């Protein structure tokens, strides 16, 4: 009994860590512009797919990973430069709709460039399951969790201790005031998209050995990651990770103890309940406008 | 000068008249198709489109059918039933097609049936769902095996091995859902008891929770997974991760090398029903399907430099049966062609040997499937 409970938790943490890593990607652009970037799932796919294609072309995995993240960041910056910046005077909702359009466009491009097949990458440290008191976990899941944890630390440092990070927060809060203080807001938007693309690419690369990657896998990952970010509180790195892990564990527990047919429904009901009680998510701060 | 113009005008008119005459003498055979060339089912629809185009092109170079060229019109429905219905209407009303091949998915085929039945146009579907031909519809036929046949083939193999208690794990959408329902329906006929019934979503990254439940269900002797795409590969990997030792069965939905590639070592020992096309090189030399599937595999792979899929085979079979019926009918008269398709008997195709009847508009039986086991990353024919 204990064994299976532990296995359900580990299953949940495996999925949850993936949702968390995707959810993290939404944080930066949201912090910089209050835009929810629905093309975040496509960054994941581009990162994963490019790595697959580059390793297939004969490059060693580490080099392929570096190049793939660069490719994804370039795509992210192009998105900011050619789709978001020209519409900078539009309101946030219009910008969000632009990102939805961009996601459909990018999905089409990925399909043309990389094809329609589902691909995988070899796990970073083998395929021997780790045994934990009778329950099992794949080493790749530890990679996903470790990298999520590492990225939270880096992001916390970036937003709290660097000028660039603070400039981003300032721009989101009041772009005109930030500009008057000498912040180059164009640069802020561009680098926010580049960083988000970087997070997406890293996420795509570490989760591909578990979930595989295809041109359309960004839809579901993006949706689950978005749910995780909303549950935890948009714009909050720790919130996104906590949201992802909670979502994953709730799904696995529902599948294990109630019914696998209702696991998605149960997860969404819990998100709704949380959002009714705390509209800004578990870790979100109340949005108060100070004068 | 004016005279010259008149003569030139007359000459042009004469040419046009002559052209229209020859065109009338050999009115082309018009074949219409609506396929999911893009969208989630595109990896089925795209090979289907390529196959139809390649063979129509080839036949036209050889002079067409009974001296008539074949004119192929393909629309991309993106897998959306409403678009499929619109395209079916367009094929019938403005393209004046003689016969329709297509409907990559069960959903698009069912939507088009509502259009083709009242219009009275022969329609050969390329989708798996049994609802397409059951109950029998006058103008509707299909080439692929049904999910029910796959379940029956698996249960027959289990029965042979003396395994009766089966855990079912299936995808909760489309193909897996329909397969799940059919499995429950026919299990009893083979003395199979379904002791666990779990589902997962098509894109779930992990199914160990469901498999742990199966593992803890007492008496499970085998696991049967009905799904499509990446899900079955994740089920296979998770089964190995949990150290589950009972044999794992998959459906014909994963009978492609992609499944083996994605699952890696974990696929070793997995059994599944597959059409002859998948194991073309392993068929006995006496197998009547051997020459057909070997030739098709070779032609397809030479033309497109990619592994042939059973879906391409379904399109090939549909086209061949349609043309054979037109030839037997001696014209493309819709009613006559429909009757001839229904009389198809002993057609050796990539999917099996097809013998249709007024009560059976698919014409395949269980012998169309071979049970294969995966060993060292390749298929091994079991029977």
pLDDT of residue A61: 92
Q: Is any Cβ of chain A less than 8 angstroms from the Cβ of B76?
A: no
The domain made up of B30-144+290-365 has a fold known as Rossmann fold (3.40.50)
Q: pLDDT band at B11, cuts 50/70/90?
A: low
* Mean pLDDT value across residues A5-29: 89
Mean pLDDT, residues B235-243 taken together:
93
> What integer is the mean pLDDT of B101-110?
91
Interface contact B204-A15, CB threshold 8 A: yes
Quick one: pLDDT at residue B9? 55
Residues of B with Cβ-Cβ distance to A253 under 8 angstroms: 209
Give me the mean pLDDT over the A132-153 stretch.
89
pLDDT at B118: 94
A260 contacts in chain B (CB < 8 Å): 198-200, 209-210, 213
Average pLDDT in chain A: 88
- Average pLDDT, integer, range B340-345: 93
Place B350 in a pLDDT band, splitting at 50, 70 and 90: very high
**Does the pLDDT value for residue B17 go beyond 60?**
no
**Is some CB atom of chain A closer than 8 A to the CB atom of B205?**
yes
Asked if the model's pLDDT at residue B329 lies above 80, the reply is yes
Q: Residue A11: its chain B contacts at CB < 8 A?
A: 206-209, 212
pLDDT at B10: 52
Beta bridge partners of A161: none
Residue A286 has pLDDT above 80, yes or no: no
Range with lowest mean pLDDT among A93-97, A221-225, B24-28 = B24-28
Q: B30-144+290-365 and B148-281+369-381: same fold?
A: yes
Q: Tens of pLDDT along A186-221?
A: 888 888 899 999 999 999 999 999 989 999 889 888
Check A136 against B264: CB less than 8 A apart: no
Name the residue ranges covered by the structural domains of chain B. Answer: 30-144+290-365, 148-281+369-381
Burial of residue B60, with CB atoms counted within 10 A of its CB: 0-12 exposed, 13-18 middle, 19 or more buried: middle
**For position B236, what pLDDT does the model report?**
95
Does residue A291 register a pLDDT over 90?
Answer: no
Report the alpha-carbon distance of residue A85 to residue A95 in Å, rounded. 9
A212 vs A231: CA distance, rounded Å: 25
pLDDT digits (tens, 9 = 90+) for B152-175: 999 999 999 999 999 999 998 778
Residue to substitute from A10, A141, A222, A260, interface B, most B β-carbons within 10 A: A260
Percent of chain A at pLDDT exceeding 90: 40
pLDDT at B225: 95
Task: Read off the pTM.
Answer: 0.84
Q: Which residues of B touch A210 (CB under 8 A)?
A: 205-206
Is B258 in CB contact (< 8 Å) with chain A?
yes
Fold (CATH) for B148-281+369-381 = Rossmann fold (3.40.50)
Mean pLDDT of chain B: 89
B193-225 confidence digits (pLDDT tens): 999 999 998 888 889 989 999 998 999 999 999
In tens, the pLDDT along A54-91 reads 999 999 999 999 999 999 999 999 999 999 888 877 88
Residue B6: its pLDDT value, please? 56
Minimum-distance CB partner of A14 among B38, B205, B210? B205
pLDDT, tens digit, 9 for 90 and up, residues B38-59 = 877 888 899 999 999 999 999 9
């Amino acid at each position: 009994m204990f064994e299976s409970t532990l296995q359900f938790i580990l299953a949940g943490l495996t999925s949850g860590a993936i949702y968390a890593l995707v959810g993290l990607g939404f944080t930066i652009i949201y912090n910089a512009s209050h835009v929810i970037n629905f093309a975040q799932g496509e960054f994941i796919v581009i990162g994963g797919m490019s790595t697959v294609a580059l390793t297939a072309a004969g490059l060693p995995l580490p080099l392929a990973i570096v190049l793939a993240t660069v490719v994804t960041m370039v795509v992210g910056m192009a998105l900011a430069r050619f789709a978001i910046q020209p519409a900078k005077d539009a309101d946030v909702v219009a910008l969000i709709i632009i990102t939805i359009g961009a996601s459909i466009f990018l999905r089409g491009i990925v399909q043309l460039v990389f094809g329609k097949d589902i691909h995988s990458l070899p796990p970073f440290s083998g395929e021997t399951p780790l045994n934990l008191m009778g329950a099992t976990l794949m080493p790749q899941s530890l990679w996903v969790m470790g990298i999520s944890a590492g990225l939270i630390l880096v992001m916390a440092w970036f937003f709290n201790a660097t000028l660039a990070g603070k400039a981003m927060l300032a721009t989101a809060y009041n772009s005109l005031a930030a500009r008057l203080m000498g912040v180059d807001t164009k640069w802020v938007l561009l680098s926010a998209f580049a960083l988000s693309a970087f997070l997406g690419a890293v996420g795509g690369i570490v989760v591909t050995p578990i979930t595989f990657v295809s041109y359309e896998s960004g839809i579901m990952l993006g949706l689950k990651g978005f749910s995780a970010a909303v549950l935890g509180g948009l714009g909050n790195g720790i919130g996104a990770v906590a949201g992802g892990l909670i979502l994953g564990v709730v799904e696995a527990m529902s599948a294990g103890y109630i019914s696998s047919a209702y696991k998605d429904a149960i997860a969404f009901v819990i998100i709704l309940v949380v959002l009714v009680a705390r509209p800004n998510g578990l870790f979100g701060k109340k949005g108060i406008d100070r004068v | 000068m004016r005279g010259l113009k008149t003569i030139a005008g007359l000459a042009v008119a004469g040419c046009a008249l002559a052209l229209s005459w020859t065109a009338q003498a050999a009115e082309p055979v018009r074949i219409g198709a609506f396929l999911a060339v893009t969208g989630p089912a595109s990896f089925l629809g795209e090979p289907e489109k390529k196959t139809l185009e390649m063979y129509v092109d080839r036949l036209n170079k050889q002079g067409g059918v009974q001296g008539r060229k074949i004119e192929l019109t393909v629309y991309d429905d993106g897998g959306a039933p409403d678009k499929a219905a619109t395209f079916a209407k367009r094929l019938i009303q403005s393209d004046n097609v003689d016969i329709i091949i297509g409907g990559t998915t069960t959903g698009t085929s069912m939507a088009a049936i509502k259009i083709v039945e009242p219009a009275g146009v022969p329609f050969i579907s390329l989708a798996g769902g049994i609802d397409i031909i059951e109950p029998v519809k006058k103008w509707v036929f299909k080439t692929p095996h049904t999910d029910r046949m796959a379940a029956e083939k698996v249960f027959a193999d289990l029965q042979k091995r003396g395994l009766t208690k089966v855990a079912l794990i299936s995808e909760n959408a489309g193909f897996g859902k329909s397969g799940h329902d059919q499995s429950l329906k026919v299990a009893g006929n083979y003395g199979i008891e379904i002791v666990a019934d779990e589902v997962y979503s098509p894109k779930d990254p992990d199914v160990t929770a469901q498999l742990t439940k199966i593992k803890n269900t007492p008496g499970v002797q085998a696991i049967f997974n009905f799904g499509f795409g990446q899900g079955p590969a994740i089920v296979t990997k998770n089964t190995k991760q949990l150290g589950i030792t009972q044999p794992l069965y998959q459906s014909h939905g994963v009978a492609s090398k992609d499944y083996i590639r994605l699952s890696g070592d974990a696929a070793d020992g997995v059994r599944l029903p597959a059409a002859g096309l998948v194991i073309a090189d392993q068929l006995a030399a006496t197998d009547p399907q051997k020459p057909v599937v070997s030739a098709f595999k070779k032609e397809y792979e030479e033309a497109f430099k990619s592994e042939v899929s059973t879906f391409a085979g379904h399109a090939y079979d549909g086209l061949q049966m349609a043309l054979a019926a037109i030839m037997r009918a001696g014209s493309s008269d819709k009613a006559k062609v429909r009757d001839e398709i229904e009389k198809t008997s002993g057609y050796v195709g990539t999917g099996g040997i097809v013998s249709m009847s007024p009560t059976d508009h698919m014409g395949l039986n269980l012998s169309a499937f071979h049970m294969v086991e995966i060993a060292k990353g390749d298929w091994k024919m079991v029977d």
